Structure 1
Amino acid sequence: MKNFILYLSIISVLSWNSYAQKNKITSADKNYNTYAYIDAIKTYERVAEKGYKSVDMFQKLGNAYYFNSELEKAAKWYGELFAMAPDQEPEYLYRYAQSLKSIGKTDKANEIMEQFQQKSGNDKRGDLFEKNKNYLDVIKANSGRFKIEDAGINSKYSDYGSSFYGNKLVFASARDTGSLAQRKHSWNDQYFTNLYVSDLGKEMSPGAVNKFSKKVKSRFHESTPTFTKDGKTMYFTRNNFLDGKKGKDGKRITLIKIYKATFENKDWANITELPFDSNSYSTAHPTLSPDEKTLYFASDMPGTMGQSDLFKVTINADGSFGTPENLGPAINTEGKETFPFFTDENELYFASDGHPGLGGLDVFVTQLNADGTFGEVQNVGDGVNSPKDDFAYLIDTKSRRGFVTSNRDGGQGYDDIYKTLETRKIKCEQELYGTVTDLATGQILPNAKVTLLDNSYNILNTTISDPAGNYTFAVECGKNYIVRAVKPEYTTKEIKIAIPMVNNEKTRLDIPLEKEKCQVAIGDDLGKCFGIKMIYFDLDKYNIRQEAALDLEKILDVMNQNPTMKIDVRSHTDSRQTHKYNEVLSDNRAKSTINWLIKNGIDKSRLTGKGYGETQLINKCADGVKCTEEEHQLNRRSEFIITAL
């Protein structure tokens, strides 16, 4: 924009045009002749009641009861969790607070919620600081995505605010049409703007420019129209002027309003102002949501956070309107937000000088989520944006072609309309996929409910694993997500995943689920019920460590619940060290494990075992074979083979 004072008035050349461009566990003990069903959660609980402590165990216990609405028990185990390890993810604070509220401990719940708010970063000032520190790097990453050129319809005056109308482009212009009735401002020799139209040809190139409609044209400004898909209704911006009468506010300033017109008898008629318009504030730059049930617009009406904000209003089935709502701090700032445009992909583009940009007004985009909230606001980058004012962006999502208005250097007039071609979408996208399986058996699990959540535990998407146990989500590069899998008879599991900053790639995340009741038979490894792969000992030693005792407590509990069960304890090593050394070490470890179980009440007649050293490797990693640490780890395992039930 040129350097003159901006007003929301008749002398502002239509205000927010280019001169002021203002997001149960249901338990059932089942026993069969040949199978035993092991309730992992109950085992965790009995182990915990003995005084054994583990962050992972307390998290599982709290979550198991929380997800099944047994909040009193959830509160107990979350309490143990925070007593042991206070530094937990904010979501655990939230769940603990909700559980406390359910049992009447409101004061304690409020105390936990205060910690949640502090830790979750709800302070808006902190959010802005964190988001804005490296904004130039973000803009740079979003740049280089557009080809841009003069639209071929510009004059030496102001041309701006274009809109699609079928296969036509409608825009505002202050060009001199040669009419004796055309009026100029004496202070800048600019004409009032009117609407013009141009047919769109190949590659959306505009053709000859013609006047849009005499019925819409007034003595003052018209601009920024938006049309319904059927072409029968138009909303547009005009100075406060209707039926030959000019409205003014208390300071005798003529502001701007949104008007509605209908297409009848081959022209526009029935021009009326919208019911939420006012002589005391301005409304401008309307755009329709994809379903045409909501009108978005810019205004400085009461409730505005900055100089101008974006609002929305419901269009009822009978044509009436609801009450305008401010889009809130996710979108609006203390500066100017203006010129909204909605795509059929539920993206909201708008201009702002309050969000970090390159200078003047910049074009930004955000995604409307399924729950009505808006996603992250992103600067669309250099190309569309410049150090000057850039606004009124629109795009055809199929061809990725569109238009933007700018007063950047090198233009023909005060403001010019430029053609754009987006060569790469702003979102770096990937496919997050994986397979849901049984932790113990590796069996695929179809019909599991898999939910994608953001880092604040807001649900983004939900799917069901297919017959092959597979799931997939579209995700954004460089972001952190949480994937939650739920299936009857299995413990709910949440896994965090960071998506690499590589476009059009795939990230795999398999989800092994632990059964609440683990079915075992003679010959099965009882340790698989609890994901026990190895019993931990100090290097080259065979005394039972605390981590090993926690896992052995689980085996102990199951054997106490199943008094006829017998176990063969088998200890294995990797191929490093000599055969003799590994055989002795593994045998001593097997004996230590058996002795621990006997010491804790299991009759020795129920236990057998030995060490197998490196004689039963499960992969290629024999002597002299180069393997990774992870591959060697697979061979260092402990097995609890059921020999009788």
Structure 2
Amino acid sequence: MKQRFFGTFLLVLTLLGACKSLQEKGTEQYLSGQYQYAIGTFSQILEEDPDNLEANEIVAESYRLSNRIENSAPYYQKLVEEDPSFNRYFFLGQSLKAQQKTEEAKEAFENAKAYTQDEALLARVQRELEAIKLAEGIANYWPYHELVNYRELNTPGPDYAPIVSENFLYFTSARQASGIYPATGMPYTKLFRTRAEDLRVDVSGIRTLPEFQNEEGLNQAAIAISPDGNTIIYARGNSTSPKDLPETALFASYFRGGGFTQPIWMPVNEDEFWWNSTPAFSPDGNTLYFASTRPGGFGGIDLYKATKLANGDFGNAVNLGPNINTPGNELFPRMAPDGKFFFASDGHPGYGKLDLFVAENDENGKQVIKNLGENINSPADDFGIFFTNYPKEGFLSSNREGGIGDDDIYYFVDKTPKPKIVNVLLNVTTQERVAGQANQVLPQARVVLYDGNNKQLGGDFSNTNGRVRFTLTPEADYTIIASKNGYFSKSIPYTTKGKTPDPSTLVQDVTNVTLDTTLVLDQLILDKSIILENIYYDLDKADIRADAAKELDKLVQILKDNPSIRIELSSHTDDRASDSYNLNLSQRRAQSAVDYIVSQGISRDRLVAKGYGETQLIIPNAQTEEEHQVNRRTEFKVIEIKE
């Protein structure tokens, strides 16, 4: 971005030597801010006298002050070889940095340290060195955003700072220009607009701004339009007329009585000698952000904000502070709807000149500054971001290599790959357990699916084949419950974790994975005893062992799945002790089992503990240990079904 809106910085030199008349002409051009003309004049001198320090100084400074510092390196190099100083080494470092010659830039910055004791200057050098190091680890803020030159919209001259308002694209361009801006040798810029819908621009309908007439012989640029469309603010300056304002300032035009007023100088400028530019409204229109060189900043150009007053004007400007502003330059602010703040800067760690950054809060609420990365930024100037569909689509400006001409308008789009979809199709089969036979299909069983938060996702009755189908998502946990009158309801956990392919390995957009599971239901018959397997007790003890607790947990689940049943839990012994001893032991064991079940959240009034001792032997006159084990058992039976 050729800095058409940068102020005039004066360097008073005593020019000596040959070609005095030519030097005087060049000096006058330089001091009046006609940097391009000064470069041309002193280049003639350097053709005859390459070692002329005064000529090298003015050419180097002219390139720097017109934001072409990358072209100034050979002139600063000549100066540090003949007459080194802090500024010459420092600006040489900046020039080399802009060319991506990082090692040479670091050497120049290190050399600059030897020519100053000023702590502020030393800190500025250190900041540059740290920025070079930090730039090596920049990650793309939007990894899948792609930037495209809007070639049909651009011209060989500058085209930049696009915004969209009420289906019109407004931007700055040097097309149809009359006159040359002597600081850069480029045509003066005007404001243009054309119809646009999102990123689709009617390039055949580009016209100069119809709301008011562009002025001749000066630059008009960086337009901002309030969200309601009733206020236009833009930067105006660089006139060569001694009767005009001495510096770039913000002007405003208001919609009144069916049309826009003639632009007027805004009070927020405060001083006609202060440079003010690149305005932007907050999403609600109540805050105006802009860039300024007014005193009290942190160096170079800083970003400010002003809040709208009751009368519609904007109040005193407030500096955005040292977290955003640097000793370098910050311009082109843009507040996003979610509170993130985008801006251009050459003072934060980046790739060379102006880069685009975002200020956002981290997880601790602290504001952090992030470079948008190399898929958005370049070694050249990148600035003026505007979103048409935040944050996926929008425009920005850049003078990077490969463009049409000077500054060009680019558009960006989010090309995040569509996620590969994996559908998990789960076939649930309901069966019933039949003693002495294979499990049988159980149709018309109610099957309900719940997610990991116990929210019901769906349910249906199994068909004649005992089949119900659900669609699940990968890497998720579920619970499936099956029920039918006359049967114990049953719930099982089910997970799809680890059961589907990695989406990154898939080729097709949609992949279906079919899985199967079965729920086997037992008939619910009053007073029918059901043996609980593997319920063991230590000899002559009634305490619940860890292995027995795992088996009792299954009964706990049955009771949870069937809240309407009441059961008797019974314990039986073998016949190798007295009747009274066995009866007492079995009662204590049954009660111990009931107490455990109650501890797992089951109401005590649903349970009856009953010890039968050796009165109900399955194998009378048992002889072997295995036979005795059959007799030592724990059972339960349903004794009541509540409606």
Q: TM-score, normalised by structure 1?
A: 0.45
Structure possessing the higher relative contact order (Cα contacts under 8 Å, 6 or more residues apart): 1
Structure of larger gyration radius: 2
